[in-house]
Every structure is written in C-alpha cells, then in structure tokens.
Amino acid sequence: MQKTTFTVKHRQSGQRLFVVIAEEQNVSKKQAQGWIDEKRVLVNGKRIWIRRHLLKEDDTVEILQVASTAPIPKKISILWSDADYLIVNKAPGLLSNARVDSLEDRLQKQQKNSQICAVHRLDKETSGCLLFATSADAKTAAIPLFRGRDIIKVYRALTVGKFPNIWKEIRTDIDGYIATTLVKILDSNRQASYLELRIETGRTHQIRRHLANKRYPVLGDKKYAGTGNEISLQQPRQMLHAYRLIFPHPRTKETIRATAPIPSDIKRTLNQLKLR
C-alpha cells in the first residue's frame, strides 16, 4: 500500500489537520478535507475524520493512497423488473436515495419515471441488490416485507482474519433490538475470510457491527475495522456486497429472486488473497 507520511513541525503545532495537510502536500484545503472525509488520514496510527482536529509537534500524519473503485456506470443494471418494482445492481460509491445524483435520482431519469422510489437502502460503499418501487402505492405494499421476515437478504463479505467454523449464527442486541446474522464460510485463510451472510433482521449496519463485534470486521470498513490491519487499509471501500434478494411479490405473491454479480473490486481482492 502506498502512503505519504510527514511529521508535524513545531510551527505547525496547534493548527488544524486539513490546514497542515494542504501546506505539506501543496494542495487546496478543499482537497485536504476531502482526504479526511474519505477517512484516508491517520494521525499517530489512528484514523481521523474530524475537520477541526488539532495537531501537536512530532505527530505523525499518514495519507493513504488506496486503489480506486471501479467507475460508476452510466447505465444502471436492472436485474429484474415488472410494472411495480425493479431490482437494480447498485454500484459502490452511490447514495441509495434522497439526494441529487443518488441511485434513486439516476434511476428516475433513466426510466423516465419520477415516481420511482427506494424501498430500502444500502450504505454508500456497499454494492449489490437494491429494491425500488415504481410508485408510492407499490412502496407502501412492499414495506411489510422488511418489517417481518418475508424477505431473504444474502450478502457476500471479505473479513479480516480466519473466521471460526463454530460460529454459524451471530445474535446480539443492536440499538435495543435483537439482531440475527447467519454465517456461511465460503473460503478462508490466515489473512482473511470470504463469507456469505443472511440477515433475518435489518438493523443499521447490522452485518458490519456483528462482524466487528466478533473481531472479524469487513475489510475496508472505515468505521468499524480500525487501523490495525494493513490489508483492510488497502481497500478502496468496505468489501460488502448485497448478493441476493428473495421475496414474495406484494401483489401477485410470486417468489421473486435476483442475484447481483460479484463486482470487479471484490474479485480482485479475492484473487490477491488467494480466496475463491
């Protein structure tokens, strides 16, 4: 992994992190802040994402130069659709909805339907299956799927370390509610594990929090993985992919299945780690 490292000088002590980065790297303050926002900056080995962080003399600042994710495709890949719903393959780096240039906004323009709306969401860095409704009524009809256990959500993830065979289920409290994640090991070695995960509940960051709680965080997870693993720091994003959705159609009751192909960045990391 490439990184740029410098030591804070006496005259820079007490200055804000983004100001010193801009000076040392000869970039704009906006660019420096962008690196901090992307969680690519470490101070004394700890990731810092606070704009106003004050530096001290002799602090060591590292700026990680990670591989870029694949460019966001212009055309959204639709995995399945009918008159009421679409399942699309979300690219990493896109917000799911509620913003200009989000996946929802792009899909409305691509399909020439301003009523299209996301039924659920994925984190910005997570790729894979995402369900959209073509109208507000269709969304309302689909919401109960996510409140009960009628929808099956299967993910693929690369994690730090060799995940133990004995853990087939992770069941803990998240934000006051019991959350359950079922785990299947696809491959593993001393460096990392390739897991298939099925969530029976949908708590915020459930998979990421469950795996981090077991001390096998998702590779590249800037919030939960910490900074102690070099392989994790090399990743351009969290290696988490919404692989499959299975659910009964809210209107016809037909079983709907959609699978999102494993993206190129995860394939590349699998090859590098000699996992399959």
Q: What does the pLDDT look like over 225-255, one tens digit per residue?
A: 776 788 888 888 999 999 999 999 999 999 9
C-alpha 198/C-alpha 184 separation (Å) is: 9
- Per mean pLDDT, which range of 16-20, 29-33, 47-51, 54-58 is the poorest? 47-51
Predicted pLDDT at 70 = 62
Percentage of the chain lying above the pLDDT 70 cut: 96
Residue with tokens 């689909």: 142
pLDDT at 216: 95
Instruction: Quote the tokens at residue 76.
Output: 């959204």
According to CATH, where is 3.30.2350.10 located in the chain?
77-272
Q: Which two tokens stand for residue 252?
A: 């016809």
pLDDT at 1 over 60: no
CATH 3.10.290.10 location in the chain: 2-65
pTM of the prediction? 0.80
Nearest-angstrom CA–CA distance, 24 and 228: 25
pLDDT tens profile 90-123: 999 899 998 898 999 999 999 999 999 999 999 9
Look at domain 2-65 and name its CATH class.
Answer: alpha beta
Concatenated DSSP letters of 93-138: T---SSSTTSHHHHHHHHHT-TT-EESS---TT-EEEEEEESSHHH
Per residue in 199-229, is it b (16+ CB within 10 Å) or e — as a string?
bbeebebbbbbbbbebebbbbbbbbebbbeb
In terms of Cα–Cα distance, which of 92, 54, 56, 48 is closest to 227?
A: 48
Please name which of 252, 242, 257 lies closest in space to residue 142, comparing C-alpha atoms.
252
Mean pLDDT confidence for 27-50? 85
Task: Give 85 or 204, the one with higher predicted confidence.
Answer: 85
- pLDDT category of residue 13 using cuts at 50, 70 and 90: very high
CATH classification of 77-272, choosing from 3.30.2350.10, 3.40.47.10, 3.40.50.10320, 2.60.200.20? 3.30.2350.10
Beta strand 85-90 pairing with 127-133: antiparallel
Structure tokens at 124: 């910005």
d(CA 246, CA 55): 50
**pLDDT tens digits, residue range 200-228?**
777 889 999 999 999 999 999 988 877 67
Whether 20 has a pLDDT exceeding 70, the answer reads yes
- Flag whether pLDDT at 49 surpasses 90: no
| pLDDT value of residue 36 | 87
Instruction: Give the model's confidence band at 69: pLDDT under 50 very low, under 70 low, under 90 confident, else very high.
Output: low
The pLDDT value recorded for residue 68 is: 57
Amino acid at 153: K
**103-130 burial: b if 16+ Cβ within 10 Å, else e:** bbbbbbeebeeeebbbbbbbbebbbbbb
Q: How far is the C-alpha of 155 from the C-alpha of 84, rounded, in Å?
A: 24
Give dist(CA 47, CA 63) in Å, integer.
10
Confidence of residue 67 (pLDDT cuts 50, 70, 90): low
Q: How deeply is 169 buried, as exposed, middle or buried, from its count of CB atoms within 10 A (0-12, 13-18, 19+)?
A: exposed
Q: Report pLDDT for 77.
A: 96
Q: What pLDDT score does 66 carry?
A: 61
Weakest-pLDDT range from 36-50, 149-163, 245-259:
36-50
Cα torsion 90, 96, 102, 103: sign? positive
- Looking from the CA of 14 toward its CB, the CA atoms found within 13 Å total 2
Round to whole Å and give the CA distance between 81 and 189. 39
